[in-house]
């Protein structure tokens, strides 16, 4: 429920409007996971709420912790589906990557989540509850650390689950709830052109990241079948028309696949494509996984690609791989266990990461 939904719910029960806001703030601001935690709500009212509503859509089933501090969470929904979320510490910042679907229908060939197919959309409660569970986990394990940034870059294509995406954005940014800044939330998409146009007209406006991953249609058709419907030209036309606020840029995600899209000529094509678009490019060395037969380029190839983009005037950043010593690629945990019985909460620390490949 949004705050307005909670207020309307209270009125529909014959209660004062403020009672709905009171319960809503306990959940979204203070992180309550049961009505019994609402200490300033009368016992009879707490019981009445418990008869008519529930709190929390997911639970933590497994935690993997990397030597670099990254935590990968496997979360289980009420129907037993597994989804994933990742907590990434970076100095004083902590970014949480959250999922929007169980599986994904986009079928990017290098993606572990794609191998699940699309099982279902997450509802808005299941999306925001990933954040609240992680917030509680940090409060218990690292009280001085808090979630500062949210990225919708986990399992699923957020724009395929548009209504629940926008509802979750409104909940997370509500000033009476978690009150996250819109500028600290990023939604990543593979390029659903009609939904991009719709998102640009919403009253809530997150940062936008686009999974480009290829310098031309021939390669993108091969590794991202969605390009056959909305090719690079259509995608860039929609992005050029997207109403960016002042000093905001579109982020282009570019996963480097050895021998596929990592040549210097490819870097030059990318620079030509994005000329005139307010943007930056995040170069991401591929996270190998058993479900796809691609490889990560050498460190030298990654640096050469990045340097060529920068030489050609494109702001380009290297996203350092995180969590290599655990199931780092999105979908690996869920792919392994979806359809299996839920396991108890456990923490598994990965072995030392392998030496870098030159």
Catalytic center residues: 84, 330
With tokens 């299941």, the residue in question is 126
Token pair for 121: 């959309």
CA end-to-end span of the chain: 50
**Any idea what the Cα angle at residue 111 is, between residues 185 and 103, rounded to 5°?**
70
Q: Which two tokens stand for residue 314?
A: 């494109």
Report the relative pairing of strands 93-97 and 58-65 from DSSP bridges: unpaired
CB 329 within 8 A of CB 289: yes
Question: CB neighbours of 229 closer than 8 A, spacing ≥ 6?
Answer: none
Q: Give strand pairing partners of 87.
A: 71, 96
Residue with tokens 């009672």: 19
- Residues 50-80 as b or e (16 or more Cβ within 10 Å = b): eeeeebebbebbbbbbbebebbbbbbbbeee
As to burial, measured by CB atoms within 10 angstroms (0-12 exposed, 13-18 middle, 19+ buried), residue 226 is buried
> Cα(311)–Cα(267) distance, rounded to whole angstroms?
10
Q: Which residues pair with 348 in a beta bridge?
A: 64
For 148, 183, 210, the CA distances from 179, given in Å and listed in that order, are 11, 12, 25
Residue 10 tokens read as 């209270």
Is 132 in a helix, a strand, or coil? Answer: helix
Strands 250-256 and 347-349, sheet pairing: unpaired
């Amino acid at each position: 429920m949004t705050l307005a939904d909670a207020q309307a719910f209270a009125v529909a029960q014959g209660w004062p409007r403020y009672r709905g806001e009171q319960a809503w703030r306990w959940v979204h601001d203070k992180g309550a996971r049961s009505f019994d935690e609402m200490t300033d709500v009368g016992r009879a009212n707490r019981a009445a709420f418990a008869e008519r509503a529930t709190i929390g859509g997911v639970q933590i089933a497994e935690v993997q912790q990397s030597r670099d501090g990254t935590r990968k969470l496997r979360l289980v929904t009420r129907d037993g589906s597994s989804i994933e979320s990742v907590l990434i510490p970076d100095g004083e910042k902590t970014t949480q990557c959250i999922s929007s679907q169980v599986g994904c229908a986009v079928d990017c060939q290098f993606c572990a989540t794609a191998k699940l197919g699309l099982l279902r959309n997450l509802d808005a409660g299941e999306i925001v509850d990933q954040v609240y569970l992680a917030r509680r986990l940090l409060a218990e394990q690292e009280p001085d650390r808090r979630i500062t940034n949210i990225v919708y870059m986990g399992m699923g294509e957020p724009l395929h689950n548009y209504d629940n995406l926008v509802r979750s954005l409104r909940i997370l940014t509500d000033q009476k709830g978690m009150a996250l800044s819109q500028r600290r939330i990023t939604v990543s998409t593979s390029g659903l052109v009609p939904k991009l146009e719709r998102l640009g007209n919403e009253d809530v406006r997150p940062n936008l990241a686009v999974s480009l991953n290829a310098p031309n249609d021939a390669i993108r058709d091969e590794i991202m079948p969605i390009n056959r419907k909305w090719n690079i030209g259509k995608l860039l036309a929609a992005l050029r028309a997207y109403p960016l606020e002042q000093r905001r840029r579109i982020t282009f995600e570019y996963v480097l696949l050895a021998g596929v899209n990592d040549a210097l000529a490819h870097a030059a094509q990318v620079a030509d494509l994005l000329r005139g678009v307010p943007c930056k490019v995040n170069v991401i060395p591929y996270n190998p996984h058993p479900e796809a037969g691609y490889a990560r380029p050498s460190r030298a190839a990654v640096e050469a690609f990045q340097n060529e983009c920068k030489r050609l005037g494109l702001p380009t950043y290297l996203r350092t791989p995180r969590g290599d010593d655990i199931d780092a690629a999105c979908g690996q945990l869920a792919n392994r266990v979806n359809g299996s019985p839920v396991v108890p909460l456990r923490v598994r620390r990965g072995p030392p990461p392998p030496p870098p490949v030159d």
